[in-house]
Amino acid sequence: MVRLLPGVMGNDQSGTTESFETGLLEHPQYTRPPLFEDRPIPEVLTSGDHGRIAKWRRQMAERLTAERRPDLLRRDPGCN
């Protein structure tokens, strides 16, 4: 409940991409370094193209949800 209080999360938009907000599991999260255990950060995430990044995140969320929780896809009219 605390996360719903204004100013608690720093960025008010942060909670809009949580798994329980969109009906999908979250997309993979990456941080520094750009190469970890021989696995690089996907190029799209370092491209600076916010439209491509948003599309990639949605695609990854749909893919992970289909793999791990396909029952959620039947409830999300945005996933086709």
* pLDDT tens digits for range 34-43: 888 898 999 9
Instruction: Say if 27 falls within a structural domain.
Output: no
Look up residue 41 and give its two tokens: 């950060």
What per-residue confidence (pLDDT) applies to 6?
A: 79
Whole-angstrom Cα distance, residue 63 to residue 79? Answer: 10
Instruction: Say if 10 falls within a structural domain.
Output: no
Instruction: Say if 67 falls within a structural domain.
Output: yes
DSSP, res 63: H
β-pair partners for 35 = 40
**The residue to which tokens 């990044």 are assigned:** 53
Q: Does pTM surpass 0.75?
A: no
- Domain with 53 in it: 47-80
Q: Which residues contact 45 (CB under 8 A, 6 or more apart)?
A: 30, 53, 56
Instruction: Say if 72 falls within a structural domain.
Output: yes
Determine the distance from the C-alpha atom of residue 24 to the mean position of all C-alpha atoms in its chain, rounded to a whole number.
9
Instruction: Say if 64 falls within a structural domain.
Output: yes
Count of structural domains, the chain:
1
Instruction: Say if 22 falls within a structural domain.
Output: no
